[in-house]
Structure 1
Amino acid sequence: MGLPILENQVGILCVIMVLLLPVLCASQDTFTSSRATYYGSPDCYGTQSGACGFGEFGRTVNDGSVTGVSRLYRNGTGCGACYQVRCKTPQYCSKDGVNVVVTDYGEGDKTDFILSPRAYARLARPNVVLDLFARGVIDIEYRRVSCHYSRYNLMFKVHENSRYPNYLAITVIYAAEMNDITAVELWQEDCKQWKGMRKAFGAVWDMANPPSGSIKLRFQVSGSTWVQSKYDLPALWSVGVAFWF
């Protein structure tokens, strides 16, 4: 079992589990045509109030190359998914475009992506960034790609709205490769069965009156495979302490 650690300057409580998730594939081969725009941000990062429930983490993950999506949000299942986005205006745009992480929901002018300014700027070729911003809405193509995080396969945090011991909420932060988390369950020792957590919103799952004592969790990955955490959530889980496994 890992040792408690102090959180970074963001000060968000996390409980971290490293799981071996199945690898689905490196990326989708086919690009889909769509449109993209960007949202205003004074520091060019994402928003702390994103619909996925990532909080401060959602501003700076992937070096700030994040996005809100519309139909790709999929009632929050799309939170944390990674996409390669590239624009279709050669005089302005780089060949490879930018890889982004979904952290929010948003709708624009028939757009699938509302990019952070940092991500939008990375679509452009050198010296024409301002010209691309001036266009506002652009034609793009995108495909889903694998997410890669150093040292993580899956990570979740105890959400800051949790209240020990009567209310537990967790946010799935990292899901490596091309995996979607479609269900989360807790083991109830008294009745010897798994009990599903409620999909609260975005990537947040919750349960009122969770089991007492240490808690086993398992995650349904991409609608079929169940992956059980190697370590239990400690009996005295609380907001303010981080665990590394």
Structure 2
Amino acid sequence: MGLAVGSVCAILLVMVLLSAPCHGQDAYVSSRATYYGSPDCLGTPTGACGYREYGRIVNGGDVSGASRLFRDGTGCGACYQVRCKGAPCCSEEGVKVVVTDYGEGDKTDFILTTRAYAKLARPGAALQLFAYGVIDIEYKRIPCQYPGYNLFFKVHEYSRFPDYLAIVIIYQAGIYDIVALEVWQEDCKEWRPMRKASGAIWDMPNPPKGALRFRFQVIGSGGAKWVEPSNPVLPSEWKAGVAYDTTIQLTY
């Protein structure tokens, strides 16, 4: 099953979050954050994770670039609770964001969309917070959760059937890092590793023919494990720009 992945905004816009916390990192870490502007207050389709349009709209547009938390792309898709401190206009809860890009500021770990940055403020105080430009924050990692969504493998637009395959994994729930991705070579009866190309993109020249089975390795608080969907994820004639349902979801 596949599906294609493809205004002036108010500063204080109430959004329904796709990503909800449950249990995660206990202690908050001190850092700094800033924001970047865009015409619609969402993310950018040219983000370093390679998510394209997904990286703009996931989590209602509450997304962020990250510096050291980017971790050469391993941090792509991770969810964080971020709240500002030291300013009277700061809210107590802050905002939940998904990392979709890389970015560096003035000793910052997060560069938020304006939509997410505004939610760090108390109601009616967003303009005061924007005046700071860079603010002190504290953050902790939390599990992602995407109600109604399984894990999807999106065939990146750079892919060229049948000679070159690039994959981006989206709607990754839980609090795991994906550190390896392999595809089954039926004629050789072996798993072939895909290369971590850039950001969240995994690629392979000359992929196997036919419907493609995958497995991927994740690392979480319980250690490392391999996860394998029971059925092939990609059809024999996969298409660039299409996201395919794995029919599974990570848990936390």
The normalised TM-score by structure 1 is 0.88
In structure 2, the partner of 1:16 is: none
How much has 1:240 moved relative to structure 2? Answer: 5.5
Amino acid at match of 1:75: D
Q: Find the counterpart in structure 1 of residue 204 from structure 2.
A: 207
Rounded to whole Å, the distance in 2 between the matches of 1:146 and 1:120 is: 20
Q: Distance in 2 between matches of 1:240 and 1:114?
A: 27
Quote the residue 2:19 is aligned against. none
SS in 1 for 2:56: helix
- Residue 100 of structure 2 is matched in structure 1 by 103
Partner of 1:231: 231
Measured after TM superposition, the shift of residue 41 of structure 1 is 1.1
Q: Deviations over 1:92-122 (max 9, x none)?
A: 1110100000000000000000000000000
CA distance in 1, matches of 2:32, 2:214: 39
Q: Deviations over 1:156-176 (max 9, x none)?
A: 201111100000000011210
- 1-structure distance, mates of 2:62, 2:182: 31
**Which of 164, 167, 177 is the equivalent residue of 2:164?**
167
Work out whether residues 82 and 138 of structure 2, in 8 Å CA contact, stay in contact via their aligned partners in 1: yes
Alignment partner of 1:75 is 2:110: no
Q: Cα gap change, 1:135/1:206 in structure 2, threshold over 3 Å: closer, same or farther?
A: same
Q: State the shift of 1:154 in Å.
A: 2.1
CA distance in structure 1 between the aligned counterparts of 2:76 and 2:58, rounded to whole angstroms = 13
Q: Tell me how far apart the structure 1 counterparts of residues 106 and 211 of structure 2 sit (CA, whole Å).
A: 48
Gap change, CA 1:65 and 1:79, over 3 Å in 2: same
Secondary structure class of the residue paired with 1:211? coil
Quick check: 1:217 aligned with 2:214?
yes
**Contact 1:26–1:177 under 8 Å retained in 2:** no
What corresponds to 1:128 in structure 2? 125
Once residues 155 and 113 of structure 1 are traced to their aligned partners in structure 2, the CA distance between those partners, rounded to angstroms, is 26
Cross-structure match for 2:191? 194
Is the 8 Å Cα contact of residues 80 and 173 (structure 1) preserved in structure 2?
yes
What's the CA shift string for 1:51-105, capped at 9, x where partnerless?
0000011011100000000000011000000000000035111101000000000
* Matched position secondary structure for 2:171: strand
Q: Is the 8 A contact 2:152 2:243 kept in 1?
A: no
How much does 1:181 deviate? Answer: 0.7
Moved more, 189-198 or 62-71: 189-198
Aligned residue number for residue 53 of structure 1: 50
How far apart, in 1, do the equivalents of 2:243 and 2:29 lie? Answer: 40
Q: Is the Cα–Cα contact under 8 Å of residues 27 and 145 in structure 1 kept in the other structure?
A: yes
Unaligned runs of 5+ in 1: 11-24
Instruction: Report what 1:176 is aligned to.
Output: 173
Q: Is it true that 1:116 corresponds to 2:117 in the alignment? A: no
Tell me, in whole angstroms, the C-alpha distance in 1 between the residues paired with 2:86 and 2:140: 17
Match of 1:26 among 7, 10, 23: 23
Q: In the alignment, which residue of structure 2 is the partner of 1:20? A: none
Given residue 25 of structure 2, which amino acid in structure 1 is its aligned partner? Q
Distance 1:125-1:240 versus aligned 2 partners, 3 A rule: closer
Deviation at 1:127, TM superposition (A): 1.4
Q: Which runs of 5+ in 2 are unaligned?
A: 7-21, 248-252
1:144 corresponding residue in structure 2? 141
**TM-score of the pair, normalised by structure 2:** 0.86
Query: CA separation in 2, counterparts of 1:39 and 1:63?
Result: 16
